[in-house]
Amino acid sequence: MSKEKTISSLKEITQDTYKYGFTTQVAAETAPKGLNEDVIRFISTKKEEPDWLLDFRLKAYRHWLTMKEPHWAKVSYPPIDYQDLYYYAAPQVKKGPKSLNEVDPKILETYEKLGIPLQEQKVLAGVVAVDAVFDSVSVATTYRARLAEQGIIFCSMSEAVREHPELVQKYLGSVVPYTDNFFACLNSAVFSDGSFVFIPKGVKSPMELSSYFRINARNSGQFERTLIVCEEGAYVSYLEGCTAPQRDENQLHAAVVEIVVLDDAEVKYSTVQNWYPGDKDGKGGIYNFVTKRGLCRNRAKLSWTQVETGSAITWKYPSCVLAGDDSVGEFYSVALTNHYQQADTGTKMIHLGRNTRSTIVSKGISAGHSNQTYRGLVKMGKKALNGRNFSRCDSLLIGDKCGAHTIPVMQSGNMTAQIEHEATTSKISEEQLFYCMSRGLNSEEAVSLIVNGFCKEVMQHLPMEFAIEAGRLIGISLEGSVG
């Protein structure tokens, strides 16, 4: 089967899990505004959760009350009133447009540029339900069955709590404890839903698992919780997000992603994040405070690849705890900010085991009035003998009103470890622009081409079809950045 087909079938499967996750539940209801223990009990009851999970949420909530919102990141935003938010709204079928004619032409133009097929456009725009387009439950079931045959579990977090409570209980909070940080703690108390992936010992997932459609189809993005467990010798490639612009009524997003990579296992986690960034004057836009971390056991490997073009504010540091000997962590990132977007992003590589290796390649592009900070930590523990890290942070500036900052922190606890750091900052030169334009490219095409060249090293780590769309996305996100 062609890769493309596999992907579209996957979308069906993920959609299908959503169906299981939600449609069987009681009628829609919304918890009152604000956060207290009653609201948390309400969420837990609505989701028919076991006592241990309610307990986890309550502990997190009580701890959260003792914490202060962090303000060390180089981002600024008005104070968030946590009592002025809704923390639970059962999914509702929204009244969407009846045909593509009723959809904002600007959005359609973007879909067109991204090369999203017409049928998928209809789904993304909310014209039709996914089922109406991919009405092939049987195909989805076949794939589900194919995954299940190998013992792979890929479902919504809610479903996992019901169907595989022992696995969730064992691993939830094992990499990102609820005490970890303010936003992760909040997430632990009120998380809505997310994905659960379990790959049993020795199994290589026969396909890439994608959260693509599930996130788009419904509003579960606000306090998303993802847990991936890859047992000994297993492998999985997981794709999160999509290139199509995503809007959400909820401005505050605080997701947690936990990944457990046991001995000799490998996880590849790819993200394309394109949440609504606000308008060109900096109004609106999503605040994205994300905690992502993976724990690698002996000889395990975790690779993060991310393309971030969205959100008004991004606060995100996908990290690797290299606990096992000979384990490997990788972080490949493209972050693009335009207009008034602010991004404070980077990674942490915590080397604990011997002969652990990590690679960081970060490419930041700032345009308009945006501000971007790379913040990274490379830490070699006392026992991380022969640990090695290589980091490279390149920043590209477009125009003279934006900013790029690099804050690498390196700590070495033993004499045998090696840490290398390279950093560059450059601008797109007038000569480059003129050269491209003298070959017939308009200024936007020229900037897009030059920026894609700048990011190539990272993009090539994305799965093929994701990479092509992400390349186009970069061009679109830069629109209006050159005069």
Partner 1 sequence: MALLEIKNLCARVGEKQILKDFSLCIEEGTVHAIMGPNGSGKSTLSNVIAGNPAYEITAGTVLFKGKDLLKMTPDERANEGVFLAFQYPVEIPGVSYATFLKQALASKMKYLGEKPLDAMHFIKRLKVRAQALGVTDEMLKRPVNVGFSGGEKKRLETLQMGFLEPDFCILDEMDSGLDIDALKIVSDGVNIMREARRSFLLITHYQRLLELIEPDVIHIMVDGHIVETGDKTLALRLEEKGYAGYR
Give contact residues for partner 1 (rule: CB under 8 A). Answer: 429-432, 434-443, 445-446, 449-450, 452-457
Kind of pairing, strands 266-273 and 342-351? unpaired
99 or 442: whose CB is closer to partner 1?
442
Find the shortest distance in angstroms from Cβ 395 to partner 1.
14
Q: How far is the CB of 445 from partner 1 (least distance, A)?
A: 6
Cα distance between residue 100 and residue 126, in whole Å? 9
Beta bridge partners of 374: 345, 406
Residue 438: CB minimum distance to partner 1, A: 5
The Cα 290–Cα 253 span in angstroms is 8
Query: What is the DSSP pairing of strand 319-322 with strand 342-351?
Result: parallel
Distance of closest approach, residue 450 Cβ to partner 1, in angstroms: 6
Smallest distance, Å, CB 481 to partner 1?
17
Q: How far apart are CA 229 and CA 172, in angstroms?
A: 10
The CA distance from 254 to 223, in Å, is: 5
Q: Which is nearer to partner 1, 368 or 471 (CB)?
A: 471
Q: What is the widest separation between alpha-carbon atoms in the chain?
A: 67
Closest to partner 1 by CB, 281 or 400:
400
In the complex, what is the shortest distance from the CB of residue 483 to partner 1, in angstroms, rounded to a whole number?
A: 10
Q: Which is nearer to partner 1, 178 or 454 (CB)?
A: 454
Rounded CA separation 311/341 (Å): 7
Is the CB of 170 or the CB of 456 nearer to partner 1?
456
Q: Name residues whose C-beta falls within 8 Å of residue 431's C-beta, 6 or more positions apart in sequence.
A: none
* Vertex 311: Cα angle to 451 and 17 (nearest 5): 105
Q: Which is nearer to partner 1, 100 or 441 (CB)?
A: 441
Nearest approach, Cβ of residue 474 and partner 1 (Å): 12
Q: Kindly state the smallest distance separating residue 480's Cβ from partner 1, in Å.
A: 16
Category of 34 on φ-ψ map: left (φ > 0), alpha (ψ -120 to 50) or beta? left
Nearer to partner 1, 4 or 38 (CB): 4
The nearer residue to partner 1, 320 or 451, going by C-beta atoms, is 451
Contact (Cβ atoms closer than 8 angstroms) between residue 315 and residue 342: no
Is the Cβ of residue 24 or residue 429 nearer to partner 1 in the bound state?
A: 429
CA nearest to 240, candidates 206, 205, 275: 275
In DSSP terms, 60 is beta-bridged to none
Name the residue among 296, 303, 291 with its Cα closest to residue 237. Answer: 303
Query: Minimum Å distance from CB 242 to partner 1?
Result: 24
Distance (Å, whole) CA 475 – CA 472: 5
Which of 448-463 are b and which e, b meaning 16 or more Cβ less than 10 Å from the residue's Cβ? bbbbbebbeebbebbb
- Cβ proximity to partner 1, 70 vs 453, nearer residue: 453
Q: Closest distance between partner 1 and the C-beta of residue 358, in Å?
A: 23
d(CA 329, CA 416): 18
What's the distance, CA 163 to chain centroid?
A: 25
What residues contact 107, with CB distance under 8 A and at least 6 apart?
A: 125, 245
Question: How many angstroms separate the CA atoms of 365 and 338, rounded?
Answer: 8
Query: How far apart are CB 453 and partner 1 at their closest, in Å?
Result: 3
* Nearer to partner 1 (CB atom), residue 85 or residue 482: 482
